[in-house]
Amino acid sequence: MKDVEGVELAIFIAVFAVVTVVGFAAARWRRGQTLMHLDEWGLGGRGFGTFVTWFLLGGDLYTAYTFVAVPSAVFAGGAMGFWAVPYGAIAYPIVFLVGPRLWSVAHRHGYVTAADFVRGRFGSKSLGLAVALTGILAMMPYIALQLVGIQAVLTVMGVTGSGWAKDLPLFIAFGLLAAYTYTSGLRAPALISFVKDALIYLVIIVAVVYIPTRLGGWDSIFGTAETALARPNPATGKPAGSLFTNDMTHWAYGTLALGSSLALFIYPHTVTGALAAGRRDVIRRNAALLPAYSLLLGLLALLGYMALAHPGTVAAVKAAGNPQLAVPELFEQVFPSWFAGLAFAAIGVGALVPAAIMSIAASNLFTRNVYAAFLRPDATPEEETRVSQLVSLLVKLGALVFVLGFDKSLAINLQLLGGIWVVQTFPAIAIGLFTRWPHRWALLAGWAAGMAYGTMTAYGTSSPTQRHFGSPLDDIPFVGHTGYIALTAFALNMVVVVAVTLLLRAVRAPEGQDETNPDDYLADADPAPAAPDDPGRSLTGRPV
């Protein structure tokens, strides 16, 4: 066990303190008449402009998973880890097509979640429930992963211990997160994401400019990485990876990118971030502006090669037996302690922001599509908000159990499983925004088929370290290549949707009521601004 890095830890704690103050203060930022309404607590007042939305969605999509797991995938496997770059690019044409329509229809009808829309569009509470439960399910391991990111940083700073004390810093970080999410709702992560992104951009730009000069330039980094990747792995006898995809991996690379890009915009936390926008054009502009983050993601991925080209980092990661530590170790060894502390704070805050949005998204889904839809149809907005606040605490507790109770490598794979699940709601949400041709029961049947196939196939994959959920890749039937299971399951889903729809039309099964009109999908906000001198609701006297 190594000693605690004092300077790094002090800076890390100072940044966390600032973030916590910002998080609580956010409740007063641009506040409406009351916080006790889901539009306020869960969607930040539905009034964010292009600038705030860019930060909020950026904070949403680029998480500790991106900062820690993507570079570590490149570190461990070379080119195959770089699929996140095409994914981060081609997701945005889809956002551009789907996002504004979802925003408009949600604005017209007051939808808070994607499942609200599905219920209204297809007149089916059960289809809405399926979409909501899928979303909540996929959120849990994703939040847990943010914790894994914080843990990686804490480990490198030497904050380790045994038993209870080992996890105490994690509990504190999460307790703070839970407290300000509870009081401030979506405004907290929105405001904190400014701090987060300023830190992240600073760290990445310094890293990408400075570290290559220490390692002899990019030529030498790629050269050393290629040699390291070509060395056979003692466990399998095969090379760890290569600098380029080959005939065996082209399909895997492409399907991982395409399958994940379908999932990106229908993840509940993305929908929450998008519906918080104040105008339709905000979404359209952001679809063009958000790829700036993907460029950042690409540079981050290359940190994996820099770690591979730095002998001290390779040795430390090998000693710890945890490739997730690649980037934190590289920072620790290359940067002076004060800057390493700043970088670790960036990763830590970068984990808290999405965790907050994800827990809000999951609790909105539960409140609207389970509680209000089935248990208490006449719940008042205030009651809904109170339920959401409580559920946001429960969701975080669930994630904490996840991260403490499960093996870390397993959690990474469950996140990829999350992608497999979420993509199965694409027909109901994204295709439903353009056409009502699919029958509601056919969508439910397709969803069930995709979920069952995807889960079972993923369960059946094994890796050298685990027997189940070992890989997101499997053979694609009829194609003869290995690909992302999410996309195969999605194809099956679509075939079932089409076949069952034709069948149900033939027997004239009841269609259900569509409460939306074609022009709802193009609607925009009224130009009239909210009253600026709104007194807001007193923040005192509320139970915390």
Residues of this chain that interact with other proteins (CB under 8 A) are 79, 82, 85-86, 88-90, 92-93, 96-97, 217-219, 221-222, 243-247, 250-251, 253-254, 257-258, 280-281, 284-285, 287-289, 291-292, 294-295, 298-299, 302, 519, 522-524
How many Å apart are CA 527 and CA 226, to the nearest integer? 56
CA distances for 282 relative to 38, 108, 471, angstroms:
21, 16, 37
Minimum Å gap between C-beta 289 and other proteins is: 7
Choice between 98 and 361, CB closer to other proteins = 98
Cα distances (angstroms) measured from residue 95 to each of 30, 92, 435, 514: 27, 5, 17, 24
Give me the least distance between CB of 90 and other proteins, in Å please: 5
Structure tokens at 441: 């029961």
Contact 304, 81 (CB under 8 A): yes
Residue pointed to by tokens 């480990």: 155
Least distance from other proteins to the Cβ atom of residue 294, Å:
5
For residues 38-63, one letter each, b for 16 or more C-beta atoms within 10 angstroms of the residue's C-beta and e for the rest, the string is: bbbbbbbbbbbebebbbbbbbbbbbb
Q: Which is nearer to other proteins, 374 or 434 (by Cβ)?
A: 434
Q: To the nearest whole angstrom, how small is the minimum distance from the Cβ of residue 61 to other proteins?
A: 14
Nearer to other proteins, 90 or 448 (CB): 90
243 vs 320 by CB, closer to other proteins: 243
Output 214 or 318, the one with its CB closest to other proteins: 214
Report in angstroms how near the CB of residue 349 gets to other proteins at its nearest: 24
Cβ distance to other proteins smaller for residue 302 or 492: 302
Place of tokens 């007194």: 535
φ, ψ of residue 472 in degrees (nearest 5): -85, 0
Cβ contacts of 299 within 8 Å, gap of 6 or more: 204, 208
CB of 250 vs other proteins, minimal distance in Å: 4
* Beta carbon nearer to other proteins, 57 or 188: 57
Identity of the residue, 127 or 486, whose beta carbon is nearer to other proteins in the bound complex = 486
CA-wise closest residue to 10 among 159, 192, 137? 159
| 3-state SS record for 16-44 | HHHHHHHHHHHHHCCCCCCCCCHHHHCCC
Rounded CA-CA distance 31/257 in Å is: 39
Measured distance CA(69)–CA(76) in Å, rounded: 10
Q: CA-CA distance, 492 to 505, in Å (whole number)?
A: 20
CA distance 372 to 112: 12
Helix axes 250-264, 84-109, angle to 10 degrees: 20
CB of 75 to other proteins, least distance (A): 15
Judged by CB, which is closer to other proteins: 287, or 373?
287
In the complex, least distance from residue 358 CB atom to other proteins, rounded to whole angstroms? 25
- Residues 186 and 353: their CA atoms lie apart, in Å, by 10
CB of 221 to other proteins, least distance (A): 8
Shortest separation between residue 40's beta carbon and other proteins, angstroms: 25
Residue by residue, DSSP assigns 41-103 as HTTTTS-B-HHHHHHHHHHHHS-HIIIIIHHHHHHHHBGGGGGHHHHHHHHHHHHHHHHHHHH
Judging by DSSP bridges, how do beta strands 473-475 and 482-484 pair with one another? antiparallel
In the complex, what is the shortest distance from the CB of residue 135 to other proteins, in angstroms, rounded to a whole number? Answer: 25
Query: Judged by CB, which is closer to other proteins: 61, or 138?
Result: 61
**Comparison of 287 and 445: residue with beta carbon closer to other proteins:** 287
**What stretches of 383-527 adopt beta strand conformation (E)?**
473-475, 482-484
Question: Which segments within 123-172 are labelled E, that is strand?
Answer: none
Closest CA to 306 of 376, 206, 398, 374: 206
Q: Which of 480, 420, 416 is nearest to 449 (CA)?
A: 420
CB 524 → other proteins: shortest distance, Å? 5
CB of 208: closest distance to other proteins in angstroms?
Answer: 11
Q: Of 433, 421, 498, whose CA–CA distance to 114 is shortest?
A: 433
Rank residues 295 and 319 by Cβ distance to other proteins and give the closer one.
295
Closer residue to other proteins in complex, CB, 24/218: 218
CB of 262 to other proteins, least distance (A): 11
Residue closer to other proteins (CB basis): 383 or 524: 524
